[in-house]
Amino acid sequence: SIKTINDLPGISQTVINKLIEAGYSSLETLAVASPQDLSVAAGIPLSTAQKIIKEARDALDIRFKTALEVKKERMNVKKISTGSQALDGLLAGGIETRTMTEFFGEFGSGKTQLCHQLSVNVQLPPEKGGLSGKAVYIDTEGTFRWERIENMAKALGLDIDNVMNNIYYIRAINTDHQIAIVDDLQELVSKDPSIKLIVVDSVTSHFRAEYPGRENLAVRQQKLNKHLHQLTRLAEVYDIAVIITNQVMARPDMFYGDPTVAVGGHTLYHVPGIRIQLKKSRGNRRIARVVDAPHLPEGEVVFALTEEGIRD
């Protein structure tokens, strides 16, 4: 099946190179291009441009669908339990495949613990809330702890070494490296269909450090949006749950989008998905709130961070 522009049937490498040089490096950009523009920009015959656009649209399944088709597609979405019944309830069953889910919140609010727990829980059989799958863990802050994985696996009565073996870990050292890792993931996940979860903890810290302040906002935003779209696409194409984390201050943070946006303005512009805000409560209690999810009711729940992992 067609997953990148390199897979377009009957299109030579020379033409593919022309497309890339002209800025049409993804199926998405091709699918929404006009045949005339594409033909001129890439220096290819109009008929070739038309053919390429049609292939890209077919590959992305861009067409009218009936509501029933949409329903059936949605029913294929699978869920991974968080370990807390309350939190699962808030998420209508757990973290979804084919979707990017963002956990955002202040330091210590439980983002990294949730990433660890889901990397373990994805391995559970479906009847226990997992997908019998593997996890990819991209760590940008150096906060991954194998000891936590051991504790969580043990608490679930799982084979510890087996669980550890099913988590592919990589430390991303800067934004370019982080982006390159996700570029390469396409190959890894297409070769290993048992990968059902991709974690990026945190997705924003390198971008924040390397592109500080307002003067860098435009370029930072552009790079980050592209990165997030790529992650979203991996989720959709390979039926994977993607989790990203984003540390935000207790005050309204101006990291995403327009810095003039007021309170609550840390929105992932243009990027679809589910956003969950985490807040500290008393002791080991944490509060989770779903923010502007199209299909989930608004509300908040309390869960606990324990030695064994995420619990009620």
CB of 303 to ligand ADP, least distance (A): 12
CB of 109 to Mg ion, least distance (A): 8
Q: Quick one: tokens of 243?
A: 């989790």
Q: Which does 307 bind (CB under 5 to 8 A by kind): ligand ADP, Mg ion, none?
A: ligand ADP
Q: Which does 113 bind (CB under 5 to 8 A by kind): ligand ADP, Mg ion, none?
A: ligand ADP
Task: Give 48 or 112: the residue with its C-beta nearer to ligand ADP.
Answer: 112
When computed from its CA atoms, the radius of gyration of the chain, rounded to whole angstroms, is 20
Nearest-angstrom CA–CA distance, 194 and 208: 32
Task: Give 30 or 276: the residue with its C-beta nearer to Mg ion.
Answer: 276
Task: Please count the residues of the chain.
Answer: 312
Task: Give 116 or 311: the residue with its C-beta nearer to Mg ion.
Answer: 116
Nearest-angstrom CA–CA distance, 199 and 103: 11
Q: Which does 306 bind (CB under 5 to 8 A by kind): Mg ion, ligand ADP, none?
A: ligand ADP
CB of 46 to ligand ADP, least distance (A): 52
Q: Which does 284 bind (CB under 5 to 8 A by kind): ligand ADP, Mg ion, none?
A: ligand ADP
Task: Give 101 or 112: the residue with its C-beta nearer to ligand ADP.
Answer: 112
Write the DSSP assignment of 190-259 as a string of letters: HH-TTEEEEEEETSSHHHHHHS-TGGGHHHHHHHHHHHHHHHHHHHHHHT-EEEEEEE--SSPP--SS-T
Task: Give 136 or 288: the residue with its C-beta nearer to ligand ADP.
Answer: 288
From residue 198, give the alpha-carbon distance in Å to each of 101, 108, 241, 242, 291.
10, 21, 6, 5, 21
CB of 255 to ligand ADP, least distance (A): 15
Among 82, 84, 112, 140, interactor with Mg ion by CB under 5 A: 112
Give the number of other Cβ atoms within 10 Å of residue 68's Cβ. 8
The binding track of 128-167 with respect to Mg ion, each residue x by CB under 5 A or -, is ---------------x------------------------
The CA-to-CA distance between both ends of the chain, in Å, stands at 42
**Strand, helix or coil at 157?**
coil
CB of 106 to ligand ADP, least distance (A): 7
Strands (E), 52-194: 79-80, 95-96, 99-105, 134-139, 167-171
CB of 208 to ligand ADP, least distance (A): 14
Q: Which does 300 bind (CB under 5 to 8 A by kind): Mg ion, ligand ADP, none?
A: none
Q: Quick one: tokens of 233?
A: 């696409």
Task: Give 166 or 205: the residue with its C-beta nearer to ligand ADP.
Answer: 205
Task: Give 29 or 143: the residue with its C-beta nearer to Mg ion.
Answer: 143
Nearest-angstrom CA–CA distance, 88 and 129: 10
From residue 273, give the alpha-carbon distance in Å to each of 9, 23, 39, 234, 292.
31, 26, 34, 13, 9
Interacting residue ranges for ligand ADP, rule: CB under 6 A: 105, 107-113, 284, 305-307
Q: Which does 45 bind (CB under 5 to 8 A by kind): ligand ADP, Mg ion, none?
A: none
Are β-strands 95-96 and 195-201 bridged in parallel, bridged antiparallel, or unpaired? unpaired
Q: Which does 166 bind (CB under 5 to 8 A by kind): Mg ion, ligand ADP, none?
A: none
Task: Give 82 or 112: the residue with its C-beta nearer to Mg ion.
Answer: 112
Q: CB–CB of 293/122 below 8 Å?
A: no
Interface contacts to Mg ion, rule CB under 5 A: 111-112, 143
